[in-house]
Amino acid sequence: MNESVLFLTTFFLYIISTFFYFAFILAKKDNLARIGFKFALAGLFTHTMALFLRTFESGHAPFTNMYESLSFLAWGSILAYILIERKYNSRNAGPYFMLIVIALMALASSPLMPKEAMPLIPALQSYWLWLHVSVTLIGEAFFAVAFIISIMYLVADTRERQGKIEKLGLSSDKLDFISYKCIAVGFPLFTLGGLIFGMIWAYKAWGRYWSWDPKETWSLITWFVFAIYLHTRIVMGWKGRRSAFIAIIGFLAALFTYFGVNYLLAGLHSYT
């Protein structure tokens, strides 16, 4: 078994899982969602092996270029989703969530992303690379789940207002609650990984913990957006649509931190 075979197997398993989840939405049979879940779980397993193998072969953390970090983000997202589905029975989110994962995997496997493991430039040779990137990406994976759930909330809420009752599963109230829970898990992780570990590593490598480099600034912006989410919700009692919009903006900010900054704004943080 080599890494790219495992990666493709994983991709394939995720695609099958997505099919089952969509079949479940269309045919409204719970069994299909359970099969979809199992395929996602199998994918998570092969994906984990692929990441291990990558680490083993390259001798460094499996997120030092765009291909690796996309793959790791997909892994984190599946993990976050599986945990949330187990806890809150949020099967309906499955198909939409799997689409994001598929998109990440497709991007990672596109020919635009160089696959070969490159030797690490000096600044990346640190165990803080592990801590900083992995914790941040897992935090962001929870924001991704909150994003999907918030969009579903907006759809469900609109339907409920039109008097339609959702037959399958989740009421809009429950979606609102799950979205908050995802952010409650993601926010501390993101704070720890993205901001605090980031500061520590920056201090070790560049001698300053904060330099307003675009990537740092965008992490802070993302963090501010979720802080706004928490305060409007906890203190001012906002819920529902307004909360969902803020959660969506927050994830888009995280996405921009991740992609946009690398391609649109230059700074210390870009790979290569």
Partner 1 sequence: MKSVIRSFSSVKLAIVLLIIITIASVLGTFIPQQRSPAEYVSRYGQMANILIKLEFTTLYRSHWFISLLILFGINIIVCTLTRLSQKVKRTFSPQLKKKEKEILVLKTKEKIRKKCDPTKIKDVLKKEFSSKHYHLREEEKENRTYILARKKILGLFGADIVHFGILIILSGGIVSGLGGFRKNLSFSEGEISAFPKANFKLRLDKFETEYYPNGSVRDWKSTLTIIENEKPKITKIIEVNKPLSYKGFVFYQSSCGWDWKNSILEILVKKRSDPAFSKEIRTKLGEKVSLEEENIQISVLHFIPDFVVNEKNEIFSRSLQPNNPAIFLEGWHENEKIFSGWIFARFPDFSRIHSEKETDLHFELKDFKANQFSVIQAAKDPGVNIIWLGSVIVIIGLFLAFYWPTREIRMILEESNGETEIIAGGIAAKNPEALQSDFKEVMSSIRRTN
CB 91 within 8 A of CB 82: no
Please identify, among the stretches 5-13, 28-36, 50-58, 118-126, the one whose residues bind partner 1 according to the rule CB under 8 A.
118-126
Q: Residues 246-250: contacts with CB within 8 Å, 24+ apart?
A: 247/143, 247/146, 247/147, 247/150, 247/179, 247/183, 248/147, 248/150, 248/151, 249/225, 250/143, 250/146, 250/147, 250/183, 250/222, 250/225, 250/226
Under rule CB under 6 A, residue 234 binds ligand HEM: yes
Alpha carbon separation from 197 to 68, 93, 138, 206, 260 (Å, rounded): 20, 31, 14, 14, 21
Cβ neighbours of 162 (radius 10 Å): 7
The minimum distance between CB 229 and ligand HEM, in angstroms, equals: 9
Q: Does 79 bind ligand HEM (CB under 6 A)?
A: no
Q: Which of residues 203-262 bind partner 1 (CB under 8 A)?
A: 203-210, 212, 214, 217-218, 220-221, 224-225, 227-228, 231-232, 234-236, 261
236 binds, among partner 1, ligand HEM, none (CB under 5 to 8 A by kind): partner 1
Cβ closest to ligand HEM, residue 29 vs residue 231: 231
Q: Which is nearer to partner 1, 52 or 206 (CB)?
A: 206
Q: Smallest distance, Å, CB 121 to partner 1? A: 7
Note the residues at the interface with ligand HEM (CB under 6 A): 227, 230-231, 234-235
